[in-house]
Amino acid sequence: MVAIGVDVGGTKCLAVALGADNRVIDSLSLPTAPGIGVVEEVAELCTALALRVGEVATSLGVGMPGTVSRDGVVYLAPHLPALRKLPMREQLAQQLGIHVAVDNDATCAGIAEWEMGAARQCNHALIITIGTGIGAALIADGKVVRGHHGFAGESGHHIVLHGGEECPCGRRGCWEQYASGTALRRMANGVSGEEVLLRVVKEDAEALIVLEEFASWVALGLLNLVNTLDPQVIVLGGGLGSSAVLRHFVADALSQQMPPAELRPAPLLVTAQLGPEAGAIGAALLGREVIA
């Protein structure tokens, strides 16, 4: 018996099959289907992956890039605009006849890092994924913070500059306009985040200035969250966030912005441990929790 987890991205859907010992047995991915075709695709991935590993799927968890209510309705996914108030959990449960959980993708990645990765055994943790945008999972008092509707953790849309850069959410000055991979590319005049990091390693002076500026924006948003949640550990994950070079710069910037350590001890800042499968693994764990 396996738990299946699917991480739905803007361009790719990644499915993993998780054994009873939480080990990834196998994985499968497909380009993300357009519109509401994504529901059918997730169901297909679940069935095909279970078949491939020769096991029965007992549960399915799905991570979606957007706001998902506590009952598994996808309200808004900025990169999949056709999905609005889509009752995904209900549709998949009916179709597959197994337990299904649907949640935000960063929440899923955070659950994986909390249960079996860099935030293991921490009752107060903040997991921030930095990629095209910013996602967050908040762990407080040993529980995932979901909020009244289930929309907690939309930290990428904390406003850090009144009247600042336009954001797809409709407002201006959101944190992800200054501290995401997209923002870094803009600051570096079109050079990708990966390339900026490579140039910094080669001690390129211009890249160094850009990365210091970028890291100070990352740290500013983190400090707001530290003041809100008082975490023991902050895990940086996602395509850009998992970089050890970036962690080093953000740690420097955060220590400059934090109050003196004797007044406010700084949280530990670490990189994620589970790599690009974290979201799918967390989704599988979440789906399995529904059974428990």
The closest of 139, 140, 81, 142 to 106, measured between CA atoms, is 139
Of the two residues 33 and 76, which places its CB atom closer to Zn ion in the complex? Answer: 76
Q: Single out the segment in contact with Zn ion by CB under 5 A; choices: 106-114, 161-169, 226-234, 278-286.
A: 161-169
Closest CB 106 distance from Zn ion, rounded Å: 14
24 or 160: CB nearest Zn ion: 160
Residue 156: its H or E element: none
Q: By CB under 5 A, is residue 174 in contact with Zn ion?
A: yes
The stretch near Zn ion (CB under 5 A) out of 102-110, 170-178, 195-203, 279-287 is 170-178
Give me the least distance between CB of 169 and Zn ion, in Å please: 3
Across the beta sheet with 57-64, the strand order is 24-31, 12-18, 2-8, 57-64, 99-104
Cβ count near 77 (within 10 Å): 21
Nearer to Zn ion, 78 or 87 (CB): 78
Q: Which of residues 44 and 165 has its CB atom nearest to Zn ion in the complex?
A: 165
- The pattern of x and - marking residues 23 through 42 that bind Zn ion according to CB under 5 A reads --------------------
Per CB under 5 A, 52 contacts Zn ion: no
Helix, strand and coil in the chain, % to nearest 5? 40, 25, 35
Smallest gap, in angstroms, from Cβ of residue 233 to Zn ion? Answer: 26
CA nearest to 192, candidates 201, 183, 204: 183
Interface with Zn ion: number of residues (CB under 5 A): 4
Contact segment (CB under 5 A) with Zn ion among 26-34, 155-163, 199-207, 224-232 equals 155-163
77: contact with Zn ion by CB under 5 A: no
Q: Would you say 72 or 135 has its CB closer to Zn ion?
A: 135
Binding flag, residue 167, Zn ion (CB under 5 A): yes
Taking CB under 5 A as the rule, does residue 76 contact Zn ion? no
Query: Token pair for residue 91?
Result: 């549709």
Q: Which residues of 241-256 are buried (b: 16+ CB within 10 A; e: fewer)?
A: bbbeebbebbbebbee
Q: Are 44 and 28 in contact (CB under 8 A)?
A: no
157 near Zn ion (CB under 5 A): yes
Between 84 and 120, CB nearer to Zn ion: 84
- Structure tokens, 204: 């390129």
What is the edge-to-edge ordering of all strands in the sheet holding 74-76? 67-68, 74-76, 84-86
CB of 178 to Zn ion, least distance (A): 11
**Residue 187 in contact with residue 217, Cβ under 8 Å?**
no
Is 169 near Zn ion (CB under 5 A)? yes
Q: Tokens at residue 285, please?
A: 């764990």
Return the range that interacts with Zn ion (CB under 5 A); candidates 98-106, 157-165, 200-208, 253-261: 157-165
Stretch that binds Zn ion, among 2-10, 70-78, 87-95, 151-159 (CB under 5 A): 151-159
Considering the complex, state which of residue 156 and residue 282 has its C-beta at the smaller distance from Zn ion.
156
Give least dist CB 165 to Zn ion, A: 9
Q: Residue type at 63?
A: G
Helix (H, G, I), strand (E, B) or coil at 157: helix
| Helix/strand/coil for 184 | helix
Distance CA 10, CA 15 (A): 14
List residues binding Zn ion (CB under 5 A): 157, 167, 169, 174
